[in-house]
């Protein structure tokens, strides 16, 4: 399976247009949060109109999986915590999203929402405990924020990661976690688009300006991942540590 992975589109409609052009070349497109942009002059509810249209069109071109990010919180859940309530409209289109699990080619994908308080945190914990019982040989999480202490969460002066994710990775050791949130990490000397924590790979494509988003192409058959951006392309083979960035080769 070849999957195109990206995140943090932030209402950059030209980048959505690019996805429409290339989506059919992949078995799946994985979008790991922040479709909306709280700093945009267009109100979030108005942003949803073209974003949902794009998601629906993408879902007709390939298998599409989406999870929410911190910019996607448009309402509140029953506990009063901020929530990406519009994901129910995504699910109504037939697109797997927050809280869902998807099994494809012996890979179980857990699609985790952005959590904003103890209630939504508990829901993610319950989701991962549920999915941990799957017999699938590979387990991938979609989770918008990367873990702390990882080069995928490095902002140039400190790490900005999710402590809860770090604990869950240590507990369950999934095959991979697909993240976003920290835009600049792949472009910084001590940052990276990829990391390995124990046996778990962490991927963060980052964010760039222009009509083409940063992206990662994951090939589960070839066991490779390739990061593509304005800075060029870098590929790693999951089975060959020497293809890792030099500051990660001993991890």
Query: In the chain, where are the structural domains located?
Result: 2-248
Q: Specify the range with the lowest mean pLDDT, choosing from 57-61, 124-128, 241-245.
A: 241-245
Look-up: residue for tokens 């859940």?
77
177 pLDDT above the threshold of 50: yes
113 pLDDT above the threshold of 50: yes
Which residue(s) pair with 126 in the sheet?
none
CATH entry 3.90.380.10 includes domain 2-248: no
Question: What pLDDT band is residue 250 in, cutting at 50, 70 and 90?
Answer: very low
249 pLDDT above the threshold of 60: no
CA distance 63 to 28: 4
73 pLDDT above the threshold of 60: yes
The percentage of residues in the chain with a pLDDT greater than 70, rounded to a whole number, is 96
Give me the pLDDT at residue 247, please: 54
251 pLDDT above the threshold of 90: no
161 pLDDT above the threshold of 90: yes
Q: Retrieve residue 28's tokens.
A: 């799946």
Please measure the distance between the N-terminal and C-terminal CA atoms of the chain and give it in whole angstroms. Answer: 27
pLDDT tens per residue across span 18-27: 999 999 999 9
Contact 149, 166 (CB under 8 A): yes
pLDDT tens per residue across span 29-38: 999 999 999 9
Give me the pLDDT at residue 240, please: 77
Contact 154, 182 (CB under 8 A): yes
179 pLDDT above the threshold of 80: yes
41 pLDDT above the threshold of 70: yes
Question: What pLDDT band is residue 169 in, cutting at 50, 70 and 90?
Answer: very high
Question: What pLDDT band is residue 245 in, cutting at 50, 70 and 90?
Answer: low
Give me the pLDDT at residue 105, please: 83
Give me the pLDDT at residue 242, please: 59
Q: Specify the range with the lowest mean pLDDT, choosing from 4-13, 76-85, 185-194, 232-241.
A: 232-241
CA distance 98 to 115: 10
């Amino acid at each position: 399976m070849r999957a195109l992975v990206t995140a943090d589109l932030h209402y950059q409609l030209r980048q959505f247009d690019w996805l429409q052009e290339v989506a059919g070349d992949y078995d799946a497109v994985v979008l790991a949060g922040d479709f909306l942009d709280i700093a945009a002059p267009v109100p979030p509810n108005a942003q949803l109109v073209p974003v949902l249209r794009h998601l629906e069109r993408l879902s007709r071109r390939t298998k599409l999986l989406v999870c929410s990010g911190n910019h996607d919180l448009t309402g509140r859940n029953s506990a009063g915590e901020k929530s990406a309530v519009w994901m129910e409209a995504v699910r109504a289109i037939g697109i797997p999203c927050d809280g869902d699990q998807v099994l494809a080619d012996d890979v179980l994908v857990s699609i985790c929402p952005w959590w904003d308080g103890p209630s939504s945190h508990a829901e993610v914990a319950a989701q991962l405990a549920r999915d941990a019982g799957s017999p699938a040989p590979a387990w991938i999480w979609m989770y918008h924020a990367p873990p702390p202490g990882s080069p995928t969460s490095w902002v140039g002066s400190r790490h900005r990661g999710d402590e809860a994710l770090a604990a869950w990775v240590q507990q369950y050791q999934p095959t991979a976690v697909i993240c976003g949130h920290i835009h600049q990490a792949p472009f910084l000397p001590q940052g990276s688009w990829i990391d390995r924590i124990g046996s778990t790979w962490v991927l963060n494509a980052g964010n760039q300006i222009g009509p083409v988003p940063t992206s990662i192409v994951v090939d589960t058959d070839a066991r490779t991942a390739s990061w593509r951006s304005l800075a060029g392309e870098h590929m790693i083979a999951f089975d060959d540590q020497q293809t890792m960035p030099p500051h990660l080769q001993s991890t």
